[in-house]
Amino acid sequence: MLSQIVSALGVVVVAVFACSAYFYFSNKILDLALPVKDGDIRSAARNLNRRAMIRPWLFLGPALFLLIVYLVYPVVATLILSFYDRSGEQFVGFANYQWAFGDREFRQSIFNNILWLAVVPAACTFFGLVIAVMTDRIWWGNIAKSIVFMPMAISFVGASVIWKFIYEFRGGNDTQIGLLNAIVQLFGGTPQVWISVPFWNNFFLMVILIWIQTGFAMVILSAALRGIPEETIEAAVIDGANGWQIFWRIMVPQVWGSIAVVWTTITILVLKVFDIVLTMTNGQWNSMVLANLMFNWMFRGGGDSGRSAVIALIIMLAVTPIMVWNVRRANRELGGH
């Protein structure tokens, strides 16, 4: 443990030193390469302009290099692999794409992902907004916010393990230790293996992600609500608006931009959901999603590079429009300011 801590601290120190050294020496080299000499005004002005043009690229250079190596190259390599066989050696054209859209498990994964997209972002945003509004009205609001935000500190696997105990089922005459089955049994119901019930098990898995991400939505929306002018609320109260009308007609329209950001951020997360499904069901009982299907084809039976690449591309294609919309919206807001 100690050696790991020392190693991590060493990496941080070396990385910070390397970055500082790069920026210092690259600027020094640039100044030496394009000197500003006294007495030669034209040459000095030309070199100053060249420095101004080159210097931003010195700062952006490492980031662009890493972006190309870790983002652009993998995307291009994945696209190429999608046209090859499982070993990545023999060209098979569109055979992998034909397999994907003809495979029942792939279609089931698409359906499940759409189901997750329809429920999780809306639920997280709604609960986050409601909690943000309610906690601003009580004296112990900050304590409540801390409790709601706490699951954000837990990994997806850790959260899944916690909820596995909540959904736990014991057969025979054994005492039900799972919270949900204990409650069901208390009211005279029959305990169930909840995560093995097709279709409905998707919703039981969604609850875990909603539990984790509601805190994120609450924090963002709470900050946005604090930005609403008090005069607007007071004017609405004077005009006779009740709490429900103030919430829907005054608060929601004024924080709509933040709602959109939260919604799209969680939507992107949902498209990449992996850990929860892997830990809880491993895609069994019709609970498979695209990220898990891609993982399975990467390692199943020695792995299939072509089929896993096709699924990865489809996930990337699904995420891209949301990312583009987010960037364009941010640019419009910055331009408006």
Domain boundary among 15, 46, 81: 81
User: Are 29 and 106 in a shared domain?
Assistant: no
User: Are 262 and 163 in a shared domain?
Assistant: yes
Asked if residue 321 belongs to a domain, the reply is yes
- How far CA 62 is from CA of 26, 29, 58, 214, in Å, comes to 12, 16, 8, 35
- How far CA 112 is from CA of 107, 206, 214, 267, 290, in Å, comes to 9, 11, 21, 14, 8
Domain boundary among 53, 81, 109: 81
Q: Which two tokens stand for residue 150?
A: 């706490």
Name the residue range of residue 75's domain.
Answer: 1-81
Asked if residue 89 belongs to a domain, the reply is no
- Across 212-304, where does the E strand assignment appear? none
Per-residue pLDDT of the chain (337 residues; tens, 9 = 90+): 678 888 888 888 998 898 889 888 888 888 888 887 766 677 778 888 888 888 888 888 888 888 888 888 888 998 998 998 888 888 988 899 998 888 898 999 999 999 999 999 999 999 998 888 888 777 787 888 888 889 888 888 899 999 988 898 877 677 777 888 888 888 887 888 888 888 999 999 999 999 999 999 998 988 888 888 878 887 878 878 777 777 788 888 888 888 888 888 898 888 888 889 988 988 888 899 988 888 888 887 667 888 889 998 988 888 888 777 777 776 776 655 5
Look at residue 207 in the predicted model and tell me its pLDDT.
Answer: 94
User: Are 70 and 130 in a shared domain?
Assistant: no
Q: Identify the H or E element spanning 132.
A: helix 104-135
Q: Which two tokens stand for residue 32?
A: 């030496």
Output the DSSP codes for 141-184. Answer: HHHHHHHHHGGGGS-HHHHHHHHHHHS----TT----SHHHHHH
- Cβ burial of 200 (10 Å; 0-12, 13-18, 19+) is middle
Look at residue 59 in the predicted model and tell me its pLDDT.
Answer: 85
Q: Check if the beta carbon of residue 142 is closer than 8 Å to that of residue 131.
A: no
User: Cα separation of 34 and 115, whole Å?
Assistant: 59
User: Are 248 and 182 in a shared domain?
Assistant: yes
- Across 156-210, where does the E strand assignment appear? none
Asked if residue 160 belongs to a domain, the reply is yes
Look at residue 230 in the predicted model and tell me its pLDDT.
Answer: 79
CATH of residue 223: 1.10.3720.10
User: Are 67 and 208 in a shared domain?
Assistant: no
User: Cα separation of 270 and 148, whole Å?
Assistant: 20
Look at residue 122 in the predicted model and tell me its pLDDT.
Answer: 92
Look at residue 213 in the predicted model and tell me its pLDDT.
Answer: 93
Q: Which two tokens stand for residue 51?
A: 């420095």
Q: Check if the beta carbon of residue 46 is closer than 8 Å to that of residue 35.
A: no
Domain boundary among 57, 81, 105: 81
At 227, is the secondary structure helix, strand, or coil?
coil
User: Cα separation of 201 and 286, whole Å?
Assistant: 8
Residue count of the chain, please give it: 337
User: Are 4 and 135 in a shared domain?
Assistant: no
User: Are 165 and 296 in a shared domain?
Assistant: yes
The sign one gets for the Cα dihedral 175, 181, 183, 187 is negative
In the structure, how many helices (H) and strands (E) does the chain have? 16, 0
Whole-prediction pTM value? 0.78
Q: Check if the beta carbon of residue 292 is closer than 8 Å to that of residue 272.
A: no
Asked if residue 87 belongs to a domain, the reply is no
Q: Which amino acid is at 303?
A: G
Asked if residue 191 belongs to a domain, the reply is yes
User: Are 186 and 315 in a shared domain?
Assistant: yes
Asked if residue 168 belongs to a domain, the reply is yes
| Total number of domains constituting the chain | 2
Asked if residue 90 belongs to a domain, the reply is no
Asked if residue 140 belongs to a domain, the reply is yes
Placement of tokens 């639920």 in the chain: 123
